[in-house]
Structure 1
Amino acid sequence: MPPVPDKLKSDLNRAIHLEWWTLGWQASIVVIMFLVMGSSQAMKSAWTEDLLGLLPATVFLLAVHFERKAPNRRFPYGFQRVNSLAFLASSSVLAFMGLYLLYDSGSKLIAMEHPTLGPLEVFGKTIWIGWAMMAALAYSVVPPVILGRLKKPIAERLKDKVLHTDALMQKADWMTGVAGILGIVGVGFGLWWADSAAAALIAFDIVHDGYRAARVAMAELIDGMPRELGGTAIADDAKALREGLQERFPEAEVRLRETGRYIAAEVVGAEAPTKAVALKDYWAGDPDRAWRLANLSFAPREGA
């Protein structure tokens, strides 16, 4: 697979910087949330999601590191699929952890377990721990809002699913913070179930994000048609490319698969043109995304 085009290198470098900032901010949030977590189920779920928020950024940085390695005898096709493998690993962890939190909070709702939010000693003064919890949750909202908004357009230009999933995770993080604050407020007003209900809502959101991302990652690893960012539908780029190749080779079968942010195409049942044609000339979609077509091969039909 080719390296990232020159016009996108600044975006990739920007994404790398944002992910390092994410790790720093997210680590500070995890520490603060842990210190004031207490027995609140909503705080426990919010802390777990913030902890999981470290995973996509770490996975992205590892994937970029391996993508830059040159092919060798043991890995002649390079390391582009590290992106897909890392994507599957992170999404699977999200889904399973969300299921655990959903079970944990649901069982406490069924058992009608009342959370205890007692006093907290701060600089010699005693305050309700709920205030400290809400302050920590409010702090946990700000960095994800900023970082998520910065990452999303870059992920779109790079067509990077790991970065896009991370941007969605940032959105889930600030929504989690708001839900957690509402849960703590509910407990303060005597609504014992508000804490576990908020935790269940957070857990459901984690499961949804993890399941949707895992479906896309599995489709990519088993050579399925390229999927759109943030969903399981076939990508518009892939549809346009397939239609363009089908028109050019009407008797052939066109197969597309995705490797990281790139697309590989195979035309089965047609002979390769005798005259060399640049890959970008086969691209039928947005010309600015022609770099996504990284490989085009021709193969005879089986049994031919």
Structure 2
Amino acid sequence: MSRDGEVEEGGIKPLPPEIRSDMARGRRLAWWTIGLMTTVIVVMGFAAGSSQAMRTAWIEDLLSLIPAIVFLVAAHFEPKAPTRLFPFGYHRANSLSFLIAAVALGAVGASLLIESVMTLIKQEHATVGPMTLFGHDIWAGWMMVAALVYSIVPPVILGRLKLPVATRLQDKVLHTDAMMQKADWMTGLAGIAGVIGLGLGFWWADAAAAAIISLSILNDGIKALRSATAELVDGAPRALDKDAEAEDAASLRHELEARYPGAEVRLRETGRFIHAEVAGAERPDRVVDLKALWPGPPERAWRLAQLSFVARDERGPGAPGDFGS
């Protein structure tokens, strides 16, 4: 059943009222990302030339569309009511989208890093020649720098707008998207340094800048992949920005351990929601108020979606004794 338990025409409303406006804002930001970053991709594609830093930055801009797209797909499925084939609903659509975004991020970062390192090993010398613009010959690097400057602006704005929404929603896909925007503008700065370095005669500057960009992408991908994998194998709820237990989950665990001394408390995350299981405690006679159990701010109480009581040796996901509203 849904977290708020309300029923409307068309079925159960699976999303808590507290986060519906933020979900709508997250969807708008994802569409803005697709629109604005598409213009960046077109501009960067025309200006790329033979610069490896430019090609790497262009690929990262293209890659930055993936988190926004999978967020929209997950946001489409997540509110759907449970069905016979999906009796627990579609909350894990967000988890699956997070895994897709993490794999894409890590794989592309690794491939770009290998390409950059091989260029440095082979000492391949990239060149940026002149081009004709409005009847005048200019250094093509200036066009590349102009394109890179433009590529910095949308990610700076979008990233700053997404972070607070991702935090309120506890949405790892949207948070990864915001981190991708940060990587985008950092890529733009590194790309500018690489292109100017080529113009000054430093043949290695372009490939070195591409390698730095690739390391940043790979690092973000590895962190996201560890967190996504933990979530899909029912690990403890992770923080948005690191592979460590979320602070609100740790507080909830301590609250339940204090309330049910001697029992074993297990927490797992399904999308943005926490499911708690207490093993070895006496089963209450009446439904437990989940909001009263939440140790954090009341506006975040929607995070606790379910509380189950099971015998200590019952560890399967279908163990009886689900409580909560």
Match of 1:83 among 78, 88, 94: 94
Taking the aligned partners of 2:200 and 2:145, their CA distance within structure 1 comes to 14
Give 3-state SS (helix, strand or coil) of 1:163's partner: helix
CA offsets per residue over residues 31-80 of structure 1, 9 Å max, x none? 11111111111001100100000000001100100101111000101111
* CA distance, structure 1, for counterparts of residue 164 and residue 104 of structure 2: 25
Instruction: Supply the AA of the counterpart residue of 1:94.
Output: L
How far apart, CA to CA, are the structure 2 residues paired with 1:202 and 1:217?
23
Q: Which amino acid aligns with 1:29?
A: V
Paired with 2:170 and 2:139, the residues of 1 have a C-alpha distance of 47
Letter in 1 for 2:267: L
* In 1, Cα distance between equivalents of 2:314 and 2:179: 46
Matches within 5 A, 1:175-190: 175-190=186-201
Query: Which residue does 1:102 correspond to in 2?
Result: 113
Question: SS where residue 187 of structure 1 aligns?
Answer: helix
Percentage of matched positions with identical amino acids? 58
Please say which of residues 286-295 and 4-13 is displaced more in the overlay.
4-13
Q: CA deviation at 1:277?
A: 2.0
User: Does residue 1:37 correspond to 2:54, yes or no?
Assistant: no
Structure 1 unaligned runs (5+)? none
Q: CA shift at 1:288, angstroms?
A: 2.0
1:7 Cα deviation from its structure 2 partner: 2.9
* Aligned equivalent of 1:293: 304
State the structure with bigger RCO (CA 8 A, min sep 6), 1 or 2: 1
SS at match of 1:77: coil
TM-score w.r.t. structure 1 length?
0.97
Match of 1:269 in 2: 280
Quote the Cα distance in structure 2 between the aligned partners of 1:79 and 1:220. 15
**In the alignment, residue 270 of structure 2 is paired with which amino acid?**
T
* Aligned partners of 2:18 and 2:299 also within 8 Å: no
1:144-155 alignment runs, 5 A limit: 144-155=155-166
Whole-angstrom CA distance in 2 between matches of 1:219 and 1:71:
24
| 1:195-214 deviations in Å (ceiling 9; x for gaps) | 00000000000000000000
Choose the corresponding residue for 2:81, options 48, 67, 70: 70
- Report the counterpart of residue 228 of structure 1 in structure 2: 239
Alignment of 1:149-298 (within 5 A): 149-298=160-309
1:50 maps onto 2:66 in alignment:
no
Instruction: Report the count of equivalent residues.
Output: 304
Query: 1:278, CA displacement in angstroms?
Result: 1.1
Give the TM-score normalised by structure 2. 0.91
- Structure 2: runs of 5+ lacking an equivalent: 4-13, 316-325
Work out the CA distance in 1 between the residues paired with 2:101 and 2:131. Answer: 36
After the TM superposition, which of the residue ranges 229-238 and 116-125 deviates more from structure 2?
116-125
SS in 2 for 1:228: coil
What is the aligned counterpart of 1:126 among 137, 140, 143? 137
Once residues 287 and 217 of structure 1 are traced to their aligned partners in structure 2, the CA distance between those partners, rounded to angstroms, is: 27
* 1:272 CA drift (Å): 2.2
